[in-house]
């Protein structure tokens, strides 16, 4: 039903105006689904592991399609001159029921072009569009690396089911002894730093990334940890950590996500670190 109504709107769209799509995740079937559109502007979530970069690469090669991306995007919005569709379906065969196989149960609402909501949705899209970066060749390469890591996680998911007892994390696995100097948080343990060094060499600018990952795993596993931050003396929820990381590390959430994926498949970390990194990735 969602695919049918969306296709109808595509076919009614004039060639002078673009179809505007802010849909987080993209998969097989999306390229053909957009084949009737004359002009398209897309905002996707390229670097969180949920979008197939091959699909974005194909779409990006088409002269009538412009693509930007945001790692915070989770919306599913399609806007045409004859209305908008706001729902839950990503642009993939499973999300849009594009084949006869099993698909997700999705829902959506159709917003009429003469409704009070339509101008607000259009304005929201254009504000989003202007705030996002264009997809580059380097980001496609990075997305492929993340996508391949995600695929390895899925292939190893059977091993997780064999774990009869949830392993407990210890502070020593994730953190160094105490908060040092004027640091606001505890730095990561030598084990975590060793793993981070496999992705990039730690320096004074990126050293907080493995530390925030340690706090993420610690809080996600149900624990709390002190900080030296006056307005937030303890982290007890992963969202607190993400908010702090986004503020302090210069929007390095993509690196945090990549490092978590690395830990989830690493064979040189403890089983409990690997287990909780995988569980966190499943949640994401």
C-alpha–C-alpha distance, residues 234 and 252, integer Å: 22
Per residue in 194-216, pLDDT (tens digit) is 999 999 888 888 899 999 999 99
Give the class (CATH, top level) of 2-139: alpha beta
Per residue in 223-260, pLDDT (tens digit) is 999 898 887 888 888 888 888 887 755 567 888 999 99
Sequence-ordered list of residues with C-beta below 8 angstroms from that of 169, at least 6 positions apart, any chain: 217, 218, 221, 223, 272, 273, 276
Sequence-ordered list of residues with C-beta below 8 angstroms from that of 30, at least 6 positions apart, any chain: 55, 59, 91, 92
Boundaries of every domain in the chain: 2-139, 156-283
Query: What pTM was estimated for this model as a whole?
Result: 0.61
The helix or strand, by DSSP H or E, that contains position 161, with its residue range, turns out to be helix 157-161
The helix or strand, by DSSP H or E, that contains position 14, with its residue range, turns out to be none
C-alpha–C-alpha distance, residues 257 and 150, integer Å: 11
């Amino acid at each position: 039903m969602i695919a049918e109504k969306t296709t109808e709107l595509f076919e009614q769209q004039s060639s002078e105006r673009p179809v505007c799509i802010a849909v987080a995740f993209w998969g097989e079937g999306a390229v053909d689904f957009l084949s009737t559109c004359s002009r398209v502007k897309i905002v996707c979530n390229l670097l969180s592991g949920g979008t197939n970069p091959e699909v974005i690469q194909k779409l990006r090669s088409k002269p009538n399609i412009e693509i930007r991306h945001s790692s915070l995007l989770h919306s599913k919005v399609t806007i045409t001159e004859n209305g908008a569709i706001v729902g839950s379906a990503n642009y993939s065969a499973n999300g849009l029921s594009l084949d006869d196989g099993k698909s997700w149960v999705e829902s959506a609402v159709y917003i009429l072009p003469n409704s009070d909501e339509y101008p607000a949705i259009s304005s929201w899209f254009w504000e989003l569009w202007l705030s996002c970066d264009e997809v580059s060749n380097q980001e496609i390469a990075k997305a492929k690396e993340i996508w391949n890591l995600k695929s390895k996680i899925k292939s190893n998911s059977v091993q997780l089911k064999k774990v009869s007892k949830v392993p407990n994390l210890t502070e020593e696995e994730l953190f160094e002894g105490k908060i040092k100097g004027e640091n606001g948080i505890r730095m990561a343990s030598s084990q975590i730093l060793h793993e981070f060094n496999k992705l990039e060499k730690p320096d004074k600018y990126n050293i907080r990334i493995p530390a925030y990952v340690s706090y993420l795993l610690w809080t996600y596993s149900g624990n709390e940890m002190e900080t030296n931050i006056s307005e937030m003396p303890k982290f007890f929820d992963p969202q607190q950590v993400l908010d702090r990381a986004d503020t302090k590390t210069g929007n390095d959430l993509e690196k945090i996500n990549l490092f978590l994926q690395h830990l989830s498949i690493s064979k040189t970390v403890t089983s409990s670190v690997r287990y909780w990194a995988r569980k966190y990735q499943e949640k994401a």
